[in-house]
Structure 1
């Protein structure tokens, strides 16, 4: 009887509406109810963590921020609006996304024995959607194998003339800047810093610079087109399934390819061409990074992807460090003369300071560290996933398995309990004044710029060598 009365009631509601329309309406109601329930469950599982209200319900807040070009500041502000500036914290920035400025938590996540894994955020970092590279490789065993094949090349052990090649490109950089000085013309230093780092990494990666400094131009419009693409790339880190859609046969034919003459795709073509020369019966053997990778077992496809990653990731981050540090040096009336005085007292016969000497200059090292701290060159979420099935507990708060935790670089390096009440100021002296446990705490936090543990950046030695040399040469000339 109850069933019959229900059907009668539904007939009264539907009336003369066609059955197909009625069914569609019921399906729509079911979908809405399911969506509401799903959203509530997603919201509820991370309800203990505060953040922007919209972020708890939808990915839209996160998409808007990463696509807007100032996500590093938005993350910091959202964290500050939710929590206190003086203590380590976790904020919610998505339905399943958390953000932290706690160095201890980050080291816990990244340590070599961690059960955390790379999240699908890294799928958006596949520069060539058809091929993987060491950055987004989420299979731990494959990642370890690839890393072991590449470590010798990145450390420079099997790269012939690594330091002289960096020196050569520094001299080309100074020659280009000198030309503008002689002609009393303004120069876009930030852009030329990118020219320099792109030529360095291409010279080390496959034996010759791409020619940015020599031509004083954005070769193949690589920088311009990459900057235009970047917001879309960052959005795919939040919606990673877009990568699979875009790499499908339907869309792939519509996208740029390595056959293009300009931009990132042209670089893909160069990577394929250079790598192809190192394989086959008439293969070219060279003692550069690519040669080292191949000698340790990288396949042709793997080598293509890795030198592409090197060029993209290894140039922009170092260029950011150089231009922002130089900006703070030349606009600081205390730092500028102090650094000049230390360099003027340093003696060496080479045209560019040897790396070993640069590493021993205390004020130079303080300037380098402070430059990396005041404007960290890597500011993406780089989210890791909480291990199943047990989840994790941090400082009394339970974090469910499958939750993604990213890091707020800007927040880490503005923590007043770590850096002092002047954390927002560029003051290299803080590194010389720090002693004992405080110095260890600060250096441990700064190390996170290059990641940590099993995911530490392989390019760290090359980047630091460039920084040890380039600032000295500005004053040396």
Structure 2
């Protein structure tokens, strides 16, 4: 039998052409054997993940090509050889519900660097996820919220001190940037018992925000074509050289030092989240190892600070562009006899504030990637009857679902705090039904057993700063940026 290797090795051009032909043939084979020919989608997406990588890179930031794509191809679209995007809110419980118990796919490993262990975000198996979530749940419970309010108020005082100092003499202040600093200091304080120092220094301490930006961009792009991760941050060579942000992660380095120092010290008088994590190691020693405590703290810092800061930025934009809404919220707080600092109990009695925050979360808390799962061995039938074969990456993107008119109304892409409130021509029963539909269709913090564990804490700091800032000041637009002007009501 003729051996083609000597011929190919002696003709480099022929070798390259042969490799290309084999690669194309393999992609076609993968596409045809995936069992997804019945699902529409862009032609190139059927054969390679390069298509969605290019589209993600082209759109950039939070802009979303999938939103427009679903308008063209429908509620179920093939976005890769083995990947499907779903937009129908009726399929949320089928993909993410506790009864579905779908695993996360291997693509989730893109979030991990080489040598890093699993955490509550990257664990694929739902049973294992439950075991790792249980020891830390108490730190995020509603019952712990009031304990954390003291630290949040302390950071709020510090933010307002900066506002008073910087704006003295009718000077301008870039409030959006300082709200980022506030969010990071609050999460640092709640996590480790002391603020990181953003508000004190007025800058990106330890370059945490900068490095997190690298990580977000990396994950958003590479998860579209997960095989790249093996040659980038998932590569042992790259990890050794330390040339990528997810490998040289400042969050990890910062957290490792904090955890190490705390493990060698007595418990603090004022409990923080790290104290909860360390205490849980006594009951769950096999799970809450020093590495897992560090990993949990990293997730806490990264996800908590980024999510709340993006929501705050969106809310500020809305309030600046709609000054009458600032007036309305202020009048509501005065009518409710609020006083600074407005506390968590008072916040619960302000429906318009709730609407502002919920709209901020709906429109701006986008993780940038679909919440991906793997279809089970017996396949998956979606709400519209579409059957997804076994082993397929299937997911819904919060950005897309947050703009569905059947859930949010005909103005789904607009900011309307009043949609969360009872309308004048609406009965109590009609309002409850409409609100239930919205809450079931909200993927901002995920759904089911994988709902973001830090949701309560993120909302605490957002509600606190929005209510108290509007109570004391009026924010206005200056030079196409968002600044705070001390033209307060009091």
- What TM-score, normalized by structure 2, do the two folds share? 0.84
Post-superposition offset of 1:360: 1.6
Q: 1:251 to 1:378 in 2, by over 3 A?
A: closer
Structure 1 residue 474 and structure 2 residue 469: aligned? yes
1:413 touches 1:423 (CA, 8 Å); kept in 2?
Answer: yes
1:366 & 1:81 partners in 2: Cα distance? 31
1:200 & 1:468 partners in 2: Cα distance? 13
Higher-Rg structure is 1
Post-superposition offset of 1:126: 2.3
2:346 & 2:89 partners in 1: Cα distance? 31
Post-superposition offset of 1:365: 1.0
Deviates more, 1:299-308 or 1:178-187: 178-187
1:386 touches 1:404 (CA, 8 Å); kept in 2?
Answer: yes
Q: 2:239 aligns to what? A: 252
Post-superposition offset of 1:149: 0.5
Q: 1:3 aligns to what? A: none
1:121 touches 1:382 (CA, 8 Å); kept in 2?
Answer: no
Aligned partner of 2:369 among 361, 377, 380 = 380
1:379 & 1:464 partners in 2: Cα distance? 20
1:66 touches 1:231 (CA, 8 Å); kept in 2?
Answer: no
Deviates more, 1:194-203 or 1:171-180: 171-180
Structure 1 residue 60 and structure 2 residue 86: aligned? no
Post-superposition offset of 1:421: 1.8
1:62 touches 1:238 (CA, 8 Å); kept in 2?
Answer: yes
Post-superposition offset of 1:104: 2.1
Paired residues for 1:56-455 under 5 Å = 56-68=46-58, 69-70=60-61, 72-83=63-74, 89-126=75-112, 129-155=115-141, 157=143, 161-245=147-231, 246-255=233-242, 265-280=249-264, 282-285=265-268, 287-297=271-281, 298-349=288-339, 351-432=340-421, 433=423, 435-446=431-442, 448-455=443-450
1:67 touches 1:232 (CA, 8 Å); kept in 2?
Answer: no
Unaligned segments of structure 1, at least 5 residues:
1-6, 84-88
Post-superposition offset of 1:74: 1.2
Post-superposition offset of 1:453: 1.1
* CA distances 1:6-60 after superposition (whole Å, capped 9, x unpaired): x9xx99xx9xx95975999699759735742542541562222222222222111
Deviation >6 Å, runs of 4+: 22-28
2:371 touches 2:396 (CA, 8 Å); kept in 1?
Answer: yes
1:158 touches 1:289 (CA, 8 Å); kept in 2?
Answer: no
Q: 1:154 to 1:264 in 2, by over 3 A?
A: farther
Structure 1 residue 456 and structure 2 residue 451: aligned? yes
Taking only aligned residues, the RMSD between alpha carbons, in angstroms, comes to 3.1
2:107 & 2:8 partners in 1: Cα distance? 44
Q: What secondary structure does 2:45 align onto?
A: helix
Q: 1:430 to 1:23 in 2, by over 3 A?
A: closer
Post-superposition offset of 1:415: 1.4
Q: What secondary structure does 1:99 align onto?
A: strand
Q: What secondary structure does 1:45 align onto?
A: coil
* CA distances 1:360-407 after superposition (whole Å, capped 9, x unpaired): 211111111122223334332121110114443542211111111121
1:222 touches 1:264 (CA, 8 Å); kept in 2?
Answer: no
Post-superposition offset of 1:196: 0.8
Q: What secondary structure does 2:387 align onto?
A: strand
Q: What secondary structure does 1:476 align onto?
A: helix
1:97 touches 1:403 (CA, 8 Å); kept in 2?
Answer: yes
1:91 & 1:71 partners in 2: Cα distance? 20
Post-superposition offset of 1:95: 1.7
Deviates more, 1:351-360 or 1:182-191: 182-191
